[in-house]
Amino acid sequence: MTVYNLGSINIDHSYRMAHLPAPGETIAARELVTGLGGKGANQSIAIARAGGDVRHIGRIGPEGGWTVDRLAAEGVDVSHVATGQTPTGHAIIAVDDAAENAIILFPGANRRIGPDQVAAALAGAQDGDWLLLQNETSAGLAAARMAREKGLKVCYCAAPFDSGAVREILPHTDLLSVNEGEEAQLRADLSDDVVGAVARLVTYGARGAAWIAGKQVVEVPAVAVTPVDTTGAGDCFLGTALAGVDAGDGIEAALARAAAAAALQVTRQGAADAIPTAGEVAAFLAERR
Q: Looking at the annotation, which residues are catalytic?
A: 235
Euclidean distance between CA atoms 110 and 88, whole angstroms:
7
* Residue 84: closest CA among 107, 106, 51, 59: 59
Contact partners, residue 232, CB within 8 Å, separation at least 6 = 37, 39, 42, 265, 270, 271, 272, 274, 275
Rg (alpha carbons) of the chain, rounded to whole number: 18
Whether the CB-CB separation of 77 and 166 falls below 8 Å is answered with no
How far is residue 141 from each of residues 61, 134, 167, 191, 196, measured CA to CA in Å? Answer: 23, 10, 10, 21, 20
